[in-house]
Each structure stands twice: as C-alpha cells, then as structure tokens.
Amino acid sequence: MFYELELQDHIRIPPTDFESSDLKSIILKNLNEKFENFISKEDGIAIAVSDIKNIGEGVIIPGDGAAFYETTFNLLVFRPEIHELILGDITEITDFGVFFNMGAIDGMIHLSQTMDDYVSLSKVGVLTGKESKRVLKPGERCRSRIIAVSYKELNNPKIGLTMRQPSLGSLAWIKEDKEKAQAADKGDKK
C-alpha cells in the first residue's frame, strides 16, 4: 500500500549547494538524495519526497560551514501488506520462480504459485500450463497477491506473491475468464 508520511528532519546544506538562490529546490534535492535507498520495517520503502511543508531558519554549526534547516516534508512510501493485491510486470522467469516488479521493489512468485496447473519451463524462459495451455512470459502485466513479507535483511526485503486465486494472474487470463463468464451468463438467461 502506498502512504504519504509527514516527517520532520534537520537537512544539512553544504556551502557548495548555495550556488542556486532557490532554497526549496536545494532542500528537495538533498531530501530525495537522503531518502533514495531508505527502507524501514515501520515506514516502508521510500519512493520520493512529494512536498515540502515548512522550512525553518537555517543554523550554522561552528566548524562545519554547512547550514542546517529544520524541514517538514511529505514522503511517499510503499509498505507491502499481507493479502494486498498488486499490479506489476514479470521481469524474469527462472527454474524456481518468477520475479515480479511492483514499481518500488521486486517480489518473487514460486513456480507452484504461478497458476492452478502443472507448469513447465521452456528453454526461452516461458512458463506453460499443462492442462490450461496458459503461457506466462517476461514483460507480461499481471495481478498478484502478497502472501509473505520478510525484513530479515533490511536493505533487501523479500516479498512472496501468489497468482493461484480467482482474478489473479496475467491480465490477459483475467480478461479471458471474464468474457467466458459473461458468455455463460448470457447462455443461462436464454
């Protein structure tokens, strides 16, 4: 789930950054650099600073030469939650699973969680269902559900996903299932 957090921090602006006269853009640039790879179990994965609410008076610490500004700002974060539905793209298919890009981070779908069918992996990296003949390949847009989130390695959280539930999987499959259901409903009404 995406959230917008309001945070407050002291932002260090080195003297070399004062070449521009626009303090707000200097602070925004420094904030985005500071939160570029920020991951927290409580707050989530930082995406970007969306807005600066307030910039306090600058304070210079003796012996540093930089100015520190107490700044209130909004930070856009992604916090993966169990059972959350996610839209993303298949980036890679391996012999053990599928890597799934959700925008802010990649997740992994074990082969057994890709579809309700026995799957085989071709030499060109395409999964095919034995009974359904459904195909899953890199670049395909899919809908999945988060089933596991681990912050064991804080800088590299692991997200487990599934596509073995109704209305999950390739968007082409979902569209096909919907059309079949509508056709069946029309046939029942006759």
The candidate with the shortest Cα–Cα distance to 61, out of 8, 9, 12, is 12
pLDDT in tens, 36-95: 889 998 999 999 999 999 999 989 888 888 899 999 999 999 999 999 999 999 999 998
pLDDT in tens, 177-188: 899 888 888 876
How far is 137 from 69, CA to CA, in rounded Å? 49
* Cα angle for residues 122, 123, 129 (degrees, 5° grid): 5
Least confident among 28-32, 63-67, 96-100: 63-67
The reply to whether the predicted model has a pTM over 0.85 is: no
Residues 138 and 108 grouped into a single domain = yes
Taking 70 as the threshold, does the pLDDT of residue 189 lie above it? no
Residues 173 and 97 grouped into a single domain = yes
Residue 149: give the domain boundaries: 85-188
How far is 81 from 157, CA to CA, in rounded Å? 12
Residues 147 and 182 grouped into a single domain = yes
pLDDT in tens, 101-149: 998 899 999 999 999 889 988 888 899 899 989 999 999 999 999 999 9
Q: Which CATH number is 134's domain given?
A: 2.40.50.140
Question: CB burial class (10 A; 0-12, 13-18, 19+) of residue 25?
Answer: exposed
Strands 158-162 and 106-110: parallel
The tally of domains found in the chain comes to: 2
